[in-house]
Structure 1
Amino acid sequence: MRHSTGLCVLFVVVGAILGGLLGNLLSNVDALSGFMPYLTESYPVFDMAPVTVNLYVIKLTVGLAFMPNFMSILGIVLALFLFRRY
């Protein structure tokens, strides 16, 4: 069975989002307060400043930032593992 690139990208994006959300939820647990700040600290990898285009009818503002934390990277690794097993 052949896997598509779009499905792999979907797995990676969902894994990153779920990993980041899980890290955010676990950051409030008192038992994990000692090392959770290291797992939830974001590291800027790619940051494109917002660009605004005014077309006098529509005003578009576009920007992109990729700032993963360790938990989202774990989510990406788990998503890739699940994708390979799928």
Structure 2
Amino acid sequence: MKNDRGNSSGSKSWGMMALFLITGAVLGGILGEFAANSSFLTGVAPYLVKQFPIFDLPPVTVNLYVIKFVLGFALYPNLMSILGIIAAIVLFRRF
């Protein structure tokens, strides 16, 4: 049975959840940078923008002599981006 949104009864798509999480992380990181530059939060700002290394895959180079690929991935969230992810999860579950 389908609901108003076209999804099967009550299920939400994983793609939409990933979009919410990425958006929450990015917006939280941006707010953290604004907080770091704010004079109002000078005492707390270093804790809000301190990065926590979670995952770091060093770059791998694939040289095909015509095209050269460099692939790598690193995840260094700060406290504000983690709070943004939590807010995104709460919003996702509400809608």
TM-score by length of 2: 0.88
1:19 to 28, 42, 45: 28
- Measured against aligned partners, the alpha-carbon deviations of 1:9-44 in whole angstroms (never above 9, x if no partner) come to 110001000000110111101120101100100010
> Which consecutive residues of structure 2, in runs of 5 or more, have no partner in the other structure?
1-9
The runs of 4+ residues in structure 1 deviating greater than 2 Å are none
2:80 to 65, 71, 80: 71
Distance 2:57 2:11 in 1: 34
May I ask how many residue pairs the two structures share in their alignment?
86
Rg bigger for which structure? 2
- Measured against aligned partners, the alpha-carbon deviations of 1:44-73 in whole angstroms (never above 9, x if no partner) come to 000010000000110000110010110000
Residue 11 of structure 2 aligns to a residue whose secondary structure is: coil
Higher helix share: 1
The alignment-based identity, stated in percent, is: 52
